[in-house]
Amino acid sequence: MTPAARVQTAIEILDTIAASAREGGPPADAIVAEAMRARRYAGSKDRRAIRGLVYDAIRAIRLAPKSGRAAMLTLAAADPEIAALFDGSPYGPAPIVGNEPRAERGLVAPHLMAMFDPLIGADETAVMLARAPLDLRANRLLSDRDTVAGLFADAQPIAGLADGVRLPPETAAVQDAAYSIGLFEVQDAASQHAALALDAAPQHNIVDLCAGAGGKTLAIAAATGDQADILAADTNRARLQQLAPRAHRAGATRIKTLLLNPGQEAAMLADRMGSADRVIVDAPCSGSGTWRRSPELRWRLTSARLERHVADQAKLFDLGAELVAPGGKLLYAVCSIIAREGRAQVDEFLTRHPGWTVDDGILPDGIGRPAGSGFLLTPGHDGCDGFFLARLTAPC
């Protein structure tokens, strides 16, 4: 492909990504992968270049652009080499005419920035779109950190995580044979901290209420030596279905799954009420803590979607509390740096549930910062995804 044809391809892919962000369709990664499959003629250099242009544009622009061309013109305005490729050559983009509209640069709309947790200052926003490293969790059921670190060049231990291994961005770790036999999982340090903050022990009866594909479920199984009984529930069949094969690969044998029907969650969990020693609610959220990895989530964040998340989080927080045995613990987690999804949810929970108390010291020393009644992990302070965590103890 010519360099101009790569730019035109990036424009077409950005058109699809922007439409999908507006309509709540598939994520950017899936769209890019599909676009590459459809363009078999593109070589590996072409693919790398196109992917680079697409993600540079997504990182640069704060809202879903009106068109892929408007997005690429924003990059062209700052990069004469890209501007020169708007040359009207075959398969390339048409020449730039007059005052063609460009997409606006920036992190997110100002009204959304105003909702960030007060701990998020300019130092944090500067790194919220930086490329993230690839974090692994050595699976202690089958391996250990030194063995996993030894598989990769430039592997570093992650501070505060006995099983954490950090690799340079885009290391093809999952292509290593050790992955296919369960020696490690790909898991950001913040998610590893979240699983450990549950304070689970081998004798515990645990519910993971929003288990998804089981990232944290598996970390909890490993932390308890595969001795705890874990119920992994979720309303999303496609995600939950991934858990059984993942558990099998990881050597985790005591995880049961439960597919919940939306609206009937409490009824379907009726026999578990008041009986769990530990419950984790890793609630659906804006994903604003993961913009380094999924920068296009910014384009999906509207006030209406945020309101829906906040309402769902409060409902799941309450349902999680109903499941906890007297004196048991509930971990509330969101991969978000928006205060309403984090510290405000805990404040409101405590008003609705007098008698519950907040646990301190749920993270290793030096990791995270107190944020209201919980803790906030951030890319700038902790070098991991943004995550809000709070652990609460039920009255006896």
Cα-only R_g, the chain: 22
Distance CA 297, CA 300 (A): 5
Q: How far is the CB of 75 from ligand SAM (least distance, A)?
A: 31
176 is in an annotated binding site: no
Residue 335 is among the residues annotated as catalytic for this protein? yes
Quick check: 342 binds ligand SAM (CB under 6 A)? no
Instruction: Name the one range near ligand SAM by CB under 6 A: 133-141, 228-236, 356-364, 381-389.
Output: 228-236
Q: What φ, ψ does residue 257 adopt, rounded to 5°?
A: -110, 150
Return the SS3 of 46. Answer: helix
**Token duo for residue 33:** 């992968």
Quick check: 135 binds ligand SAM (CB under 6 A)? no
318 is in an annotated binding site: no
Instruction: Name the one range near ligand SAM by CB under 6 A: 71-79, 96-104, 198-206, 213-221.
Output: 213-221
HSE-CB of 107 using CA atoms within 13 angstroms: 20
Q: Which is nearer to ligand SAM, 281 or 394 (CB)?
A: 281
Distance CA 227, CA 86 (A): 61
User: x-or-dash pattern for ligand SAM, window 303-322, by CB under 6 A?
Assistant: ---------x---x------
**Token duo for residue 363:** 């993270």
- Sequence-distant (6+) residues with CB within 8 A of 223 are 140, 195, 196, 200
Quick check: 236 binds ligand SAM (CB under 6 A)? yes
Q: How far is the CB of 379 from ligand SAM (least distance, A)?
A: 17
Contact 51, 32 (CB under 8 A): yes
Quick check: 73 binds ligand SAM (CB under 6 A)? no
Q: Which residue has the tokens 């408007």?
A: 70
Q: Helices H, strands E: what count in the chain?
A: 18, 13
Q: Which residue has the tokens 């078999």?
A: 40
Quick check: 254 binds ligand SAM (CB under 6 A)? no
Q: Which of 6, 59, 216, 278 binds ligand SAM (CB under 6 A)?
A: 216
Q: How far is the CB of 18 from ligand SAM (least distance, A)?
A: 24
**Binding residue positions for S-adenosyl-L-methionine:** 234, 282
Question: Where in the sequence numbering do the catalytic residues fall?
Answer: 335
Residues contributing to the site for ligand SAM (CB under 6 A): 191, 209-213, 215-216, 233-236, 239, 260, 262, 265, 282, 284, 312, 316
